[in-house]
Chain A
Amino acid sequence: MNPDFIKLTEITKVYPMGKTGFPALKGISLSIDRGEFIAIMGPSGSGKSTLMNIIGCLDSPTSGTYLLDGEDIGKNSDKELTRIRNKRIGFIFQSFNLLGRQSAMDNVLLPLLYSCTTLRKNRKRITTEALERVGLSTKLRNKPSEMSGGEQQRVAIARALVNNPEIICADEPTGNLDSQTSHEIMEILRGLNKKGRTIILVTYEADIAGYTQRIIRMKDGGIIKE
């Protein structure tokens, strides 16, 4: 077994901007073990989301290597990155990012639709179970506009869970919620971590970061403190 589940070495990201481009990440090296619950903190514009997107295979680094479970992600094609996103990674965003015109069920179904491995007749059961796990068994048919922010974020968590991913990337999941709801969401995430999932969390709030085992602080595209 490879001890380093996620291993980033000298990762840089330069956004195309102006003549030279904007360096959002300036050589990040970081290792995360399987089953860790880790928080990334730092001021706005420090590159937290950029780093998160690279870990989540939504974006690829300008240079550096990213080993996920020993596999060099940089060598993968777009199609393989998509497959990894679908099977191994679940995303939770600050703005929930649900499909507004579809019900909770249909939103949660989305990753299953694209994975193509789940039998049609099992889909309903699996999505219902995922929504039950986040305590939304009574709101299966509700549209996002018919739910509170906390409920919407729980739908997003259910969607992130439904394909049973190893990693959950949560970019400021509590940024749009009051503190009461934030703690409910964090309890759910902690529960998921207890069941062995690796969770990477971006947040500003110290008490939210308190739920995690390790905190990484970033500034100007670099890690300043672990």
Chain B
Amino acid sequence: MLGMVIGVFAITTVLSISKGGKELILSEFLTAGTNIVMAFNAQMETRTDKFAYLTEDQVMTMKEIIPQVDDLSPVHFMQIPLKVKGKMKQITVFGVPENFFRVRGIKASSGRMFTKEEVNRYEKVCVVGKELFYDLFGKTKKLGQEIKVEGTYFRVIGVMGHKMEFGPINVNTAIGIPSSCAMRLLGSRDIYAVQFLAKEGVSIPLLKKRIKEHLRQIFGGRDDFDVHSVDELLSMLDKVMGIISMVLGSIAGISILVGGIGIMNIMLVSVRERTREIGIRKACGATKGNILLQFLIESLILCSIGGGMGILASVGLVLIISIMFKTAFFISSLAIILGFGFSCLVGIFFGVYPAYIAAKLNPVEALRYE
């Protein structure tokens, strides 16, 4: 019975996580489209001139040279120390033109993103990732506070809505400022990362190849920049999910086998204990089919109870996961139906033998049984 619970729990959880979770992640990217490619210097950790970089001209001409590119935005980086929840922490600040947010599909969860004019006017405004904003200012939704970056105060005008981590920035814990200000603060116009938006219908691997080739040309045959796309991330996620599914799946398989055998045992004992009852029923005109059905239904009920408990546990776990990761509840109904269906199937499979034994009992001997 416990085996049944664990087994169905594992099945439902596997299905929920792999299906519901994937859907959730997909929907996360769907607003941005999966058509983003990011090129960045992989060695880059801090601001230094030792590493390969791109100039503004080189970046801007890429838009004309590579026809598959719809839009692009250069990204400047710096790390600043900031007091978060009483502790000093290195926080990523990225300087971008205003189109970065549209390309990446980032929406303001409150306030707004900065505009082209603000970028052009070197306006000292910034947008903060949702997680970081909470850590800095608590639950107050109030904007307008100021954050000190390299000695300059930036006014918070918006909070960036939640986004999956991708490439060198996790926007949830970063601060975005206008690219103009970033370049002035850094004292350099070097570009270490570029975000590309593919044209509609363009194959992402093809675009990646074109960008790679072009960058190799710029850097004299060396691959100084890494080129990554969102679908890569998805396929990696798929792989991880696959492993989780396999592990949980084999746990499920074993526990259901054990559970099923347990159920069979319970039913065999029940048949023996109720031998006399079977005799009475047969004397009253119960056919083999009647008895078979009666015991099959009983084992089915046993398994459904086990399965139901497993499903409940799984729903609970998924609920906890969804609260922990602040995501929408994603238990899949398919998983529940499959989990339940499977437990019923096991009930029938392991119930057939005891039921068959009950059905073929000789009524005279069954009635004599003490």
Kindly state whether residue A87 has any CB partner on chain B within 8 Å. yes
Instruction: Give the residues from 106 to 138 in chain A that come closer than 8 angstroms, CB to CB, to chain B.
Output: 110-111, 114-115
Q: Which of A25-33, A77-85, A192-200 contacts B (4 or more CB under 8 A)?
A: A77-85
A114 touches B367 (CB 8 A): no
Question: Closest CB of chain A to B320's CB: distance in Å?
Answer: 41
Kindly state whether residue A58 has any CB partner on chain B within 8 Å. yes
A97 touches B285 (CB 8 A): no
Interface size on B, residues (CB 8 A): 17
Kindly state whether residue A86 has any CB partner on chain B within 8 Å. yes
Chain A CB count within 10 A is highest, among B279, B281, B283, B367, for B283
A111 touches B280 (CB 8 A): no
CB neighbours (8 Å) of A97 from chain B are 276, 279-280, 283, 367
Kindly state whether residue A204 has any CB partner on chain B within 8 Å. no
Instruction: Report the Cα distance A87→B285, complex, angstroms.
Output: 8
Instruction: Give the residues from 89 to 111 in chain A that come closer than 8 angstroms, CB to CB, to chain B.
Output: 91, 93, 97-99, 110-111
CB neighbours (8 Å) of A86 from chain B are 284-285
Instruction: Give the residues from 129 to 187 in chain B that come closer than 8 angstroms, CB to CB, to chain A.
Output: none
Kindly state whether residue A159 has any CB partner on chain B within 8 Å. yes
Kindly state whether residue A176 has any CB partner on chain B within 8 Å. no
B277 touches A78 (CB 8 A): no
Q: Which residue of A lies closest to B288 (CB)?
A: A78
CB neighbours (8 Å) of B363 from chain A are 58-59
Kindly state whether residue A46 has any CB partner on chain B within 8 Å. no
A53 touches B364 (CB 8 A): yes
The answer to whether A159 and B288 touch (CB under 8 A), given A93-B367, A97-B276, A99-B277, is no
A82 touches B282 (CB 8 A): yes
A114 touches B288 (CB 8 A): no
B280 touches A99 (CB 8 A): yes
CB neighbours (8 Å) of B362 from chain A are 59
Instruction: Give the residues from 252 to 295 in chain B that come closer than 8 angstroms, CB to CB, to chain A.
Output: 276-277, 279-288, 290
Q: Which residue of B lies closest to A163 (CB)?
A: B285
Instruction: Report the Cα distance A98→B286, complex, angstroms.
Output: 15
Q: Which residue of B lies closest to A59 (CB)?
A: B364
Instruction: Give the residues from 326 to 370 in chain B that come closer than 8 angstroms, CB to CB, to chain A.
Output: 362-364, 367
A82 touches B286 (CB 8 A): yes
Of the candidates B276, B280, B287, which one forms a contact with A82 in the assembled complex, judged by CB atoms under 8 Å apart? B287
The answer to whether A114 and B286 touch (CB under 8 A), given A59-B364, A97-B367, is yes
Q: Which residue of A lies closest to B280 (CB)?
A: A97
The answer to whether A58 and B285 touch (CB under 8 A), given A93-B367, A97-B276, A99-B277, is no
Instruction: Give the residues from 24 to 49 in chain B that come closer than 8 angstroms, CB to CB, to chain A.
Output: none
Instruction: Report the Cα distance A59→B362, complex, angstroms.
Output: 8
CB neighbours (8 Å) of B285 from chain A are 82-83, 85-87, 111, 114-115, 163
A111 touches B284 (CB 8 A): yes
Q: Which residue of A lies closest to B366 (CB)?
A: A58
Question: Closest CB of chain A to B216's CB: distance in Å?
Answer: 82
Q: Which residue of A lies closest to B362 (CB)?
A: A59
A58 touches B280 (CB 8 A): no
CB neighbours (8 Å) of B279 from chain A are 97
CB neighbours (8 Å) of A159 from chain B are 284
Question: Closest CB of chain A to B99's CB: distance in Å?
Answer: 73
B287 touches A58 (CB 8 A): no
CB neighbours (8 Å) of B283 from chain A are 56, 58, 85, 91, 97
Question: Closest CB of chain B to A169's CB: distance in Å?
Answer: 9
Chain A 51-62 interface mask (CB, 8 Å, partner B; 1/0): 001001011000
A114 touches B364 (CB 8 A): no
Q: Which residue of A lies closest to B277 (CB)?
A: A99
CB neighbours (8 Å) of B286 from chain A are 82, 114
CB neighbours (8 Å) of A98 from chain B are 280
Question: Closest CB of chain A to B144's CB: distance in Å?
Answer: 74
Instruction: Report the Cα distance A82→B291, complex, angstroms.
Output: 12
The answer to whether A114 and B280 touch (CB under 8 A), given A58-B364, A59-B364, A97-B367, is no
Given contacts A82-B287, A85-B284, 7 further A-B contacts (CB under 8 A): A59-B362, A59-B363, A91-B284, A97-B276, A110-B284, A114-B287, A115-B285
30 A–B contacts from the bound complex (CB under 8 Å): A53-B364, A56-B283, A58-B283, A58-B363, A59-B362, A59-B363, A82-B282, A82-B285, A82-B286, A82-B287, A83-B285, A83-B287, A85-B282, A85-B283, A85-B284, A85-B285, A86-B284, A87-B285, A91-B283, A91-B284, A97-B276, A97-B279, A97-B280, A97-B283, A110-B281, A111-B284, A114-B287, A115-B285, A159-B284, A163-B285
Hey, which bits of chain A sit against chain B, CB under 8 A? 53, 56, 58-59, 78-79, 82-83, 85-87, 91, 93, 97-99, 110-111, 114-115, 159, 163
* 6 cross-chain pairs, A with B, having the tightest CB-CB distances, nearest first: A86-B285, A114-B285, A110-B284, A111-B284, A59-B364, A82-B287
